[in-house]
Each structure stands twice: as structure tokens, then as C-alpha cells.
Structure 1
């Protein structure tokens, strides 16, 4: 039985999470820049931005970068599983676990940012993703 449609909503949810973090990034960054009268002309390089916008207002930017790392593997494995009609219930569950814990990771990262809490969400999401990848590989050999 194919569950290929079952990956559409987790994929769309991951993309929506990325959009939400992008919006939060601009809200926090622009708010900080207005409050602290940061000159945009001084933000020519990432290190300039880090110097001018330190700490919590930069957390959403860091999180947006994180959403361009392992989630790329998530999108790729979902595409692979769908194309080769290998999606099953466990893949769908793992996809939702990945998305759910990535959302928790983003929430922590963009708010109170306790590293161990963030790391646990990252670890649990990663385990779900690697289960999907290993199962896809084993089905291919």
C-alpha cells in the first residue's frame, strides 16, 4: 500500500515552518534595528550583522540557517520515497516526528533558547529523519 500522499502535509508543514521563522527573523531584526538605531549600511557582511545585532534578535537568523541543513535531507528523502512509491505508515510517522520536533526546535531557538532543550528536539527530529533515510537505503539494495 502506498502512503505517498501522506508525505505531502509534512512537507508543506516544514515549508510553512520555514516561512514562519523567516517572518519572525524580520520582525525581530527590524524591531531591534529601529530600537537601537542600527545603520543598515554597516551590515555589509554576516560578521557585521552579528556585531550590530547580537544575541536573541539574531536567534531567528541562526534558526533559518538551521532550516537549510537537515531539512534538505528531509525534502530529498520524501521526494525519493514518493517517486519510488516506498512511502509507508512508518515513513509518514517519522516525517511527522521530524516536522514536530523541528517546530519545537525552532520555537525554543527563537524564544528562550536553552541549548539542551533545543538539542533534545534536534536529536529526536534527526533520529526520525535517519530512520527514513536508512529504510529508504535498505529498500533500494
Structure 2
């Protein structure tokens, strides 16, 4: 019975991980829904050996923002995924950990929306810093369980 309870706690902690992965796929879809028509309109053909970045720079900024954000979702959130999975393995079950995990996920979604829609750097930076606070809380909990 105790093992079932522990497993349920771990499952709850994995929900923000799955939610952020699902959001990442939304951004992937949004990126291609905007990028492919823009590439066609700009008559951009991708030819092996040519400089890809120069061609993408010709796209409107609002199109590039989605791709930039998708790339951002492939970077720092990998630390979040590793930390939350580690916390599940370690049996973390505090409300603080759950709140921090959901906070990180929701702040990254907000960051994505800001970057993809109007890209106000000051707001993005604030959301990024706040998401790092949540990440630090998760890290602190992992360290306290390990050492």
C-alpha cells in the first residue's frame, strides 16, 4: 500500500513535466505553421551547403520568434526535466516541490507566449528570472535529499 502512495506522489510531480513537453509540441507546431508559409512567400529553398541562418534572417521577426522560442524550450528546460525526474526517484513529496515544478512550467509557457506574440524583452527577462527561482527551489530540494 505504501508503495502505491509513493508512486501516486511521483505521478503528481511528473504532471508539470508532461505539461511542459506538451507545450513544447504546441510551440513546434506553431513554429512550422508560421514558418513554412513565410518561407514559401519569401521563396526560400533550403539547399545543402548554403548558410541556413542567412536565409532564416530574411523571414519576418514575428515568424523567427516562434523558432527562437522552440529552441529555448530545448535548452534550459532540460535541467527542469532532469531535476523533477530526480526528485521523483528521491521520493520528494513536499508541496513546495510541486508548487515550484508547476510554477516553472507556467512561467515557461508565459515566456513562450510573450516571445511568440510580441517579444517584449523586459517581460521575457522577468519571466526567465522567475522561472530560474523555481528551478533553484527544485535544485535546493534535490541537494537536501541527496546530502
Same fold by TM-score greater than 0.5 = yes
2:73 match: 67
Structure 1 CA distance for aligned equivalents of residues 86 and 43 of structure 2: 47
Q: Could you tell me which residue of structure 1 aligns to residue 111 of structure 2?
A: 105
5+ residue gaps, structure 2, are none
- Does residue 93 in structure 1 map to residue 124 in structure 2? no
Q: CA deviation at 1:68?
A: 1.3
Residue 41 (str. 1) matches residue 56 (str. 2): no
Worse-matched range after superposition: 53-62 or 125-134: 53-62
Matching residue of 1:119: 125
Q: Which residue of 2 aligns with 1:130?
A: 136
Aligned ranges for residues 19-38 of structure 1 at < 5 Å? 19-38=25-44
SS at match of 2:47: helix
Count matched residues: 141
- In 2, distance between residues paired with 1:79 and 1:49? 38
Cα deviation, residue 50, structure 1: 3.0
Q: Partners of 2:142 and 2:53 in 1: how far apart?
A: 39
How much has 1:25 moved relative to structure 2? 0.7
Alpha-carbon shift at residue 105 of structure 1 (Å): 0.2
Instruction: Verify the 8 A CA contact 1:105 1:118 in the aligned structure 2.
Output: yes
Task: Confirm or deny: 8 A CA contact 2:111 2:124 kept in the other structure.
Answer: yes
Q: Which has the larger radius of gyration?
A: 2
Which consecutive residues of structure 1, in runs of 5 or more, have no partner in the other structure?
none
Runs of 4+ in 1 over 3 A off after TM superposition: 42-46
Q: Which segment is superposed worse, 1-10 or 70-79?
A: 1-10
Quote the RMSD (CA, aligned, Å). 1.9
